[in-house]
Structure 1
Amino acid sequence: MELNHYLSILWRRKWVLVVTVVSAFVAIAIGHSRMAPVYTATTTLRVATSVIGVQTSAVYTNAELLRNTYVEIATSRPVMDELLARLDSNEVPDIRAEVIPTTELIRITAQSPDPKLAAQASNTLAEILIEQSDQLYMGGSIDSGDVLAVQVEEAKVALDKMRKEYEALIVQTPAAPDQITVTGQLLQEKQRTYESLLRQHEQARYREAIESSMITLVESAIPPTVPTEPRVAFNYTLGALLGLIGGIILAFIFENLDTRLHDTSAIESASNTSLLARLPKTGKGHLILSHNGSTPLAETVRHLAAQIQWMDRESPRRVLLLAGSEPGQGASTAAVNLSMALAEQGQNVVVVDYNLRHPHLHEMLNLPNEHGLSDVLAEGMDLKKAIQKSPAGSLSVLTSGPGLAAPSLAFDSARAEKLINTLRQQFDYILLDAPALTVADVASLAPYTDGLILVVRRSHAQRDAVESAGNFMARFEGKYLGLIVNEAEGRFAQTYI
């Protein structure tokens, strides 16, 4: 039930949602029209590490560090300067480099309003990295392997020289045992130094082999044909979502600020009375019962007429006053339709236009208004001359007549009582179309009636006005029959045109 309540609010405020979403779309469209399209080109490189021997976790760690190093180098100032020098452009496009997770690949991305420039920049940067990979990675530092190679060569020369000296001493005559012993020891020392340097040189070359890399082009960039920005589909989807959320929030804010009553149950609660009838919304051409055939409005009014006659059996309810909680609630239409329904069911009925300030009955029934209630009350005209028959002929009508200088005269207690008593003698039912309850004069008319009916138009009546009208009606204990809701929601709440 609570969910239905929220859904009914959103349906009632659907134009807020529509306007908010449309506004979001318009804002996005304007933003797109002012944005230059951006094209993205991508080049893929492979950074493969040469590995000798067993592959260990250290080797994999080194490879990951190597790829991350190349990513940083790719956007470094020296490389960007070289890229700018090679491009036929005054500025470098937006460049990004990133490692593709769990691979040996690096993705180079270039973005530019010019698709050809984006592809050229991406491919040129890849060429720079491939051409200068060793120099860029080593940064111009001295190769330890080369240093050791020089030392190995020098140690070999020294070793060979010492070996020749040792061999010469051995064949020397006369022999020199002490000198041979010392030279042999020096030879052994030179041999150990040479072997140590040779091992260090081999280890250095091994490390260099592990740390060395080979950059190759996997996929070159081609000039894109579709811009990547603005992201039209994404932006419109996001705009629709945000617009919808914003619209829902605004709908509930407007609902909270709106003092009108939009539910029949809320009207019942505010008026503090029971519901007599829910009259569905209908087109202007079908407001009057005689034009309405067997539509839901007509059937609902006929059911109400039968209900009032049943109530009349238990307690006479011959004089009924219908009044709206405020102007524009449809009390005149309800009075005319209920009168017609009672007349259809064989009752002798008269409907009186007591709304002298804003009379409507003569217009609704297409009757002249030269004479009427004002003549009877002010000039004592005979009722028989003032009362007219409706076009259908089954209903008697006492229109308002020419306006009174002081409309409050129509509510003078003595005059009102005399008029109503006279009508009681001639008709089975007298329906008084009274002004809205915002007019204080209605209070002087109510004591001479048998029943009071409050008419409220859903989605138009203000809460304060309905509550005030309900309190007014409750003052006449035993006469407050109930509530008629115009344009009610529900299974009969349809529009008939």
Structure 2
Amino acid sequence: MAQDLPQLDQQAAQAREHQLRFIVNVLTSRWRMIAGFTIFACAIYGAMGMMRVQSSGGLYQAQAKVLVRPSLWDLDSLKGIQGTPLTRFDAQSLAKRTSLQRLSEKIARALVQQDIAEGKELSALSNDEEYAAKAAEIQSALSLSVPDPQSGVITIEVGHMPSRDEAVRVADLAARVFVEENLQIQLEDDRKTHDVIKKRLQELQQELYAAETAEWEYKKAMGFQTYGSVGDEMARIYAELNEKKALCEETRAKLAEIEKELSANAAQLPEALGNVTDTVVNEMLAELDALLQEQLSMSVIYNPEYPGLVEIADEIAEKKAAILEAVKQVDQGVGDGTNLWKHRQNLYREQIDLRMNVTGMEIRMSALQRMLEELVPQIPELANKNLEYERLAKESQRLREQFNKLREKEFDIRTALSRDAGQVERYEAVEASALPYGRARTQWWMNFVIGALVGFVIGFGLAVMMEIMDTSIRGIDDVVNYVGLEVLGTIPKMRFGKPRGGRRKRGTYVAATSEDQIDACIVTQHDPKSPISEAYRALRTNFQFATLQRKPKTIMVTSAVPGEGKTTTAVNLAVTMADRGIRVLLIDTDLRRPNVHRVLKVERGPGLADVLREGLDVHSAIRPTRMENLFIVSSGRVPPNPSELIASDRMQRLMALLKDEFDLVVCDAPSILVVTDPVLLATHVDAVLVVISVNNPRRETVQRAYKLLQAANAYVAGAVLNGLEASRRHYYYYYYYYEDGGKGQRRWFHF
């Protein structure tokens, strides 16, 4: 994956380069159209701007300002209210909401009323059409703006006025009408706001009642026990249980100390008295302990109201009273007894109380333990229901808070309606130093700049669209990418006449007054250092290297459609081959519209058609040319069946014979998509060269011609790109070494 990153970066860089190259190609190839649109739009828009500036001479503008003061409740009280959006009353929103048409109509009527009172020209207005026309005129000159939204100032600007006084008067009336109209609008908005809040308050009250009802019903279904309350109850029970246990242990410790003290006291009393009292009291205490144990056992199973528990409690009270009475009688029998016996009597009373307390605490601990055992199984069910209950409780709390907050806001708004909740007032007087309208606007030259930018954008957009829609062959990349052929040579566009233009463009001119006065071979003979001659030599070299393994001895030069320069390419290729000492035979296989004999200025017959149709000796049709090692077989008379002659066995035998006698046989064939001759001839030759003219055939046309050759199993060596502009960058470097010895000025940029 890490090894692919440089490759991805390289592909991204190539994509960016292709995009930039596409834009540059559009600008360089269609600059005339872009420049035309730019100049046209610049001239039209600039002229219209100058006409507006000239026609506005002597017009004036004036400004009036009003101040919008929002109230405290408008800024604070209405924040966060859910429901219908409320209308804000500030400068920016007020300027957007104001209807210029309605404002202009009121200004027009105010102007008419003033003129009627003063007897001026507008007093003549009488019907609605005249009022509407005047209102439309004012509306076209009226504008509202808010330079600083935080300041609350609205600027009312009036332009196109014939005089300064008129501009000031209209601006002053506009400010007055604006203030009066928006005060009424503000009052209506306040009332609407209050109505919206009251309605929302009623809705919230109903929602709150429904939410609280749902919460109560759910809590009722849960037995008025929630997960939180049960948890708190269990925590309280555990705390009380631990407290009772600690207190019970402490009480038992005290009881043990009292029992030790009783034993010590009994040893100090007379033996008869001690045994009597201990025996009686101990028997009664044993009975009391039995009753307490029975009470403890039943309290674990039954509720405190159970009748059996009530009877045991009564028996315990009676037994306690009996013990106290027995101790009292012993005390009376002793008479004035010693202090030792009184102390023993107090110990018995305290022992009974402690035993009663221990029993009571054990009963309470048993009850607490039973309550815990009952609450523990409820925890899972309550936990499942707790989420829904908490949701209902939160919803009720949210609605309750929102209701209370909105009720406070409604009170604030109701209070604010009783006074000025917000006001629109004049901020400052109309500016008396009104400027001429023409000078108050944007400078006139900006119209030319804007027009040029608009024209450039339109022209460039159309150029890009035409470039994308153009499917003609425009360069080497198009041939390689869309057709799938390698380009063996590029031939510059050939011009005839006196050389003119730049240094590179002059090399493509052939010194002649017309195209008919020169044959194609003179291009390589008359000026061997010209770019065109060098292009044909480069084609020869590239063809030899491309076919180095096959070494074809018969080649066919053809094109997809007529007019692509295949004859000129075939002749010049044959001439350049002959220059290297190779015996070359040029055959004109276009039996319908032959052209080679005119280019080389030889007789038309006898030719190939005569040899194939009448059986003439082919050597009688071979003629030498002015070029050494170059021979020609013209087409001859036009036969009635050219396709049958080209596809005949005689043609195949003829090509085999000529292949043995010459080093190279070049066949100038007709266009592939016009007749079937070149497809038939392609089966008799070793290689095919396809000539493609720049900006002449469509990509689909060349692709279809190439597929026909592939269907005939022909070997296509490559393509020749003809008619390429010599101003392209590669020509400059390619033919740099054929410049004059003196150094010329070279461009630092190349497209």
TM-score, scaled to structure 2: 0.44
Aligned mates of 1:471, 1:128 — CA distance in 2: 82
User: 1:461 is matched with which residue?
Assistant: 697
Distance 1:34 1:129 in 2: 29
1:369 equivalent to 2:604? Answer yes
Residue in structure 1 matching 2:633, options 398, 405, 421: 398
- The Cα shift of 1:341 comes to 0.9
Larger Rg, first or second structure (1 or 2): 2
Amino acid at match of 2:529: S
Give the whole-Å Cα distance in 2 for the aligned partners of 1:376 and 1:400. 10
- Letter in structure 2 aligned against 1:461: P
- Correspondence for 1:220 among 427, 430, 433: 433
Deviation of residue 434 (structure 1)?
Answer: 0.8
Match of 2:672 among 420, 437, 441: 437
Whose relative contact order is higher, 1 or 2, with alpha carbons under 8 Å and at least 6 apart? 1
Task: Note the C-alpha offset of 1:406.
Answer: 2.5
Aligned-pair distance for 1:119?
3.3
Percent identity, please: 22
Q: 1:392 to 1:4 in 2, by over 3 A?
A: farther
1:323 to 554, 558, 575: 558
Q: Structure 1 residues 238 and 442, CA, compared in 2 at 3 Å: closer, same or farther?
A: same
Deviates more, 1:216-225 or 1:442-451: 216-225
Question: Which amino acid in structure 1 is aligned with residue 434 of structure 2?
Answer: A
Equivalent residue, structure 2, for 1:80: 111
Structure-to-structure mapping, 1:253-264, within 5 angstroms = 253-264=465-476
**What is the correspondence of 1:256-405 to structure 2 with a 5 Å cutoff?**
256-284=468-496, 285-286=509-510, 288-309=523-544, 314-369=549-604, 371-392=606-627, 395-405=630-640
CA contact (8 A) 1:43 1:122 kept: yes
Tell me if the contact between 1:280 and 1:488 (Cα under 8 Å) persists in the aligned partners. yes
Letter in 1 for 2:19: L
Secondary structure at the aligned position of 2:540 is classed as helix
CA distance 1:396–1:122, change in 2 (3 Å): same
Quickly say closer, same or farther: Cα 1:128–1:290, change in 2 above 3 A: same
Contact in 2 for aligned 1:99/1:106 (Cα 8 Å): yes
> Could you tell me how far 1:444 is from its partner in structure 2?
2.5
Aligned length in residues: 406
Residues 4/469 of structure 1: CA separation in 2 closer, same or farther (3 Å cut): farther
> Residues 418-497 of structure 1 correspond to what in structure 2 (within 5 A)?
418-438=653-673, 439-475=675-711, 479-488=715-724, 490-492=728-730
**Structure 2 residue 111 is the aligned partner of structure 1 residue 111:** no
Q: What is residue 181 of structure 1 aligned with on the other side?
A: none
1:3 corresponds to: 19
Decide which moves more: 18-27 or 408-417. Answer: 18-27
Q: Deviations over 1:54-86 (max 9, x none)?
A: xxx99xx9xx99xx99x99x9753653367667
Q: 1:373 touches 1:399 (CA, 8 Å); kept in 2?
A: yes
| Structure-2 residue corresponding to 1:121 | 166
Asked if 1 retains the 8 angstrom alpha-carbon contact of 2:586 and 2:667, the reply is yes
- Say if 1:239 and 1:356 are closer, same or farther in 2 by CA, change over 3 A: farther
- The Cα offsets for residues 222-255 of structure 1, whole Å up to 9 and x where unpaired, read as 54566959x8655554444444444444444444
Q: CA deviation at 1:433?
A: 0.8
Change (3 A) 1:6 1:347: same
Q: Distance in 2 between matches of 1:28 and 1:5?
A: 32
Distance 2:427 2:719 in 1: 89
| RMSD over equivalenced CA pairs, Å | 4.9
Larger helix share, 1 or 2:
2
Give the unaligned 5+ runs of structure 2. 1-16, 76-89, 126-133, 184-423, 497-508, 511-519, 736-751
Q: Which residue does the alignment assign to 2:228? A: none
C-alpha displacement of 1:302 = 0.8
Aligned to 2:60: 41
One-letter amino acid of the counterpart of residue 3, structure 1:
Q
Label 1:339 to 1:361 Cα distance change in 2 as closer, same or farther (>3 A): same
Instruction: Give the AA of the match of 2:159.
Output: Q
1:457/1:485 contact within 8 Å kept: yes
Distance 2:143 2:546 in 1: 85
Q: 1:445 to 1:243 in 2, by over 3 A?
A: same
Give per-residue Cα distances to partners, 1:461-492, cap 9 Å, x unaligned. 22222222333333566833222222347534
Going from structure 1 to structure 2, the CA distance change for 1:215 and 1:467 (only over 3 Å counts) comes to closer
Instruction: Quote the Cα distance in structure 2 between the aligned partners of 1:125 and 1:362.
Output: 89
Contact kept in structure 1, 2:66 and 2:426, CA below 8 Å:
yes
For residues 372 and 451 of structure 1, the distance between their equivalents in structure 2, rounded to whole angstroms, comes to: 23
Specify whether residues 310 and 261 from structure 1 end up closer, same or farther in structure 2 by C-alpha distance, changes over 3 A only: closer
Distance 1:461 1:47, change over 3 A: closer
Q: 8 Å contact 1:374–1:400 — kept in the other structure?
A: yes
Point out the structure with the larger strand share.
1
| SS of residue in 2 equivalent to 1:437 | coil
Higher deviation after alignment, 334-343 or 285-294: 285-294
2 CA distance for matches of 1:263 and 1:298? 20
Q: How is 1:132-281 mapped onto 2 (pairs within 5 angstroms)?
A: 219-221=432-434, 223-224=436-437, 228=441, 233-281=445-493
SS where residue 683 of structure 2 aligns? helix
| Structure 1 residues 295 and 227: alpha-carbon distance in aligned structure 2, compared to 1, 3 A threshold | farther
